[in-house]
Amino acid sequence: MENHIFDSHCHIQFPAYATDREAVIERAIDSGIKMIAVGTQKSTSIEAINLAKKYPNIIFATIGFHPNHLSENWHHDKNEQGENQKEVFNYQDFNKLAAEKEVIAIGECGLDYYRSSKDKILANTEQENQKEVFIQQIEIAEIARKPLMIHSRPSNKSSDAYLDSLDILKKTKFSLSVIFHFYVGGIEITQKLVEFGANFTFGGVITFSHDYDEVIRSIPIDRILIETDAPYVAPMSNRGKRNEPAFILETYKKIAELKGISYDEVIGIVGQNVKRIFNI
């Protein structure tokens, strides 16, 4: 069976690539890379679907509403969206988009406590809003029979967002695969998530930080995916630059080093993980 290199989480539909998107995609294709373009709100989700239609079986789409768009201190990220307007989550819109054949997962969605308000009352309100919208997207995923791409980011030196996400997944009895993207949890919460059956993606940060070495070694290789999160967090050789899918090979090599297996083995195993989890 042919092996493919997958970037399991990128945002090549974002305005960060407005001037050279086709060139970025071609560089990835030339490197043998397939990409999952991840939605963060309705507009970027639709754009991900459109790219997947333009590049069938090379680009795949997800649709989701990022928890940070529910924060009172939301700020306009020009890399993410052209319009300077906060979007409101609409269940019906996302439920309809979920049925598109190009959509292979729901998300990124989840809980982000990292940028919670310093006001405790407001922070609690924001977190409750995030939980409500997360639960609605879990329902959409269950109806569509598609896995969840989860963005959960804890507050400093904590596992709170992961623990709350796990609690919600258990209470909703979600029955399909879950993927914790850009995973930064410690050993204790990692063990709980592994026991639950979760999958994890790792990006370029592991090429210049040793903070995640022990965690990566502890996770079974059949639960690991590799991402860029492009345009963010480029690996060591391009650190500080705009990230892109073609840069992912460096992260594959780092995973091979940490797991003590060959680069080719990582490509093969991770490729099979992606195909199994996303049913592609």
Domain ranges of the chain: 5-278
> What confidence tier does 8 reach under pLDDT thresholds 50, 70, 90?
very high
CA 143, 144, 149, 151 torsion-angle sign: negative
Closest by alpha carbon to 257, among 226, 230, 278, 233? 226
How many whole angstroms separate alpha carbon 16 and alpha carbon 37?
13
pLDDT at position 119, please?
Answer: 64
d(CA 166, CA 172): 10
Specify the pTM: 0.95
Dihedral sign from CA coordinates of 222, 235, 75, 47? negative
* 5-278 CATH, one of 3.40.50.300, 3.20.20.140, 3.40.50.1100, 3.30.70.20: 3.20.20.140
Query: Which carries the bigger pLDDT value, residue 124 or residue 170?
Result: 170
Q: Using alpha carbons, select from 264, 245, 233 the residue that is nearest to residue 27.
A: 245
Q: What is the mean pLDDT of residues 206-225?
A: 98
Q: Among 156, 155, 160, 36, which Cα is nearest to 106's? A: 36
For 251-269, give the DSSP string: HHHHHHHHHTS-HHHHHHH
CA 46 to chain centre: 16
Q: Express each pLDDT in 144-202 by its tens digit.
A: 999 999 999 998 768 899 999 999 999 999 999 999 999 999 999 999 999 999 999 99
Mean pLDDT confidence for 119-145: 91
Torsion angle defined by CA atoms of residues 83, 85, 90 and 93, in that order, rounded to the nearest 10 degrees: -20
Write the pLDDT tens digit of every residue in 54-111. Answer: 999 999 999 999 999 887 666 666 777 777 677 899 999 999 999 999 999 999 999 9
* Dihedral-angle region of residue 107 (phi above 0 means left; psi in -120 to 50 means alpha; beta otherwise): left
Would you say 190 and 217 are in contact if contact means Cβ atoms under 8 Å apart?
A: no
Q: How far apart are CA 50 and CA 203, in angstroms?
A: 25
